[in-house]
Amino acid sequence: MNAYAKPLPRTDVDTQPFWDGCKLHDLRAQRCSDCRRFRWPPQAFCPECYSWKFEWTRLAQTGKVATFVVVHYAAVAAFQPDLPYVVAHIVIDGTAGRVEIVSNVIGCPWQDVKVDMAVKAVFEDVTPDVTLAKFEPA
Partner 1 sequence: MPEQAIKDKTAIAGIGWTAFTRGSGVRTLTLAAEASLNAVADAGLEVQHIDGIVSYFHKRPESQEVRELTQMLGIKNCNFQLYSDGGGGWNCAAVLSAAMLVHSGVCKNVLVFKAQNRYSEGRAARAERVHDVSGPDQFTMPFGQHHAAAQFGPHATAHMARYGTTSLDFAHLAVTERSHAMLNQKAMMRKPMTVADHQASRWIIYPFRLFDCCQETDGAVALVVTSAERARDLKHAPVYIMAGVGGTSQTAGWWETNGINTAPQLYEGAGIAPRDVSIAEIYDPFTFMCMTHLEDLGVVPKGEIGPWIRAGNNRLDGSLPVNTHGGLLSEGHIAGLNHFIEAVQQLRPEGVVDDLCEGTHTYDRATCRQVRDPQIALLCGECVDSAMLLRKA
Q: Choose one: 23-31, 50-58, 68-76; the region binding partner 1 (CB under 8 A).
A: 68-76
Q: How many residues bind partner 1 (CB under 8 A)?
A: 37
Long-range contacts of 114-117 (CB under 8 A, 24+ apart): 114/65, 115/65, 115/66, 115/67, 115/68, 116/64, 116/65, 117/64, 117/65
Q: Choose one: 28-36, 54-62, 67-75; the region binding partner 1 (CB under 8 A).
A: 67-75
Selected binder of partner 1 within 12, 44, 109, 128 (CB under 8 A) = 12
Strands (E), the chain: 28-32, 38-39, 54-58, 62-71, 85-92, 100-105, 118-125, 131-137
3 binds partner 1 (CB under 8 A): no
Q: Choose one: 29-37, 54-62, 85-93; the region binding partner 1 (CB under 8 A).
A: 85-93
Alpha-carbon span 92 to 29, nearest angstrom: 10
33 binds partner 1 (CB under 8 A): no
List contacts with partner 1 (CB under 8 A).
6-12, 15, 41, 66-76, 79, 82, 84-85, 87, 89, 101-104, 110, 114-116, 130, 132, 134
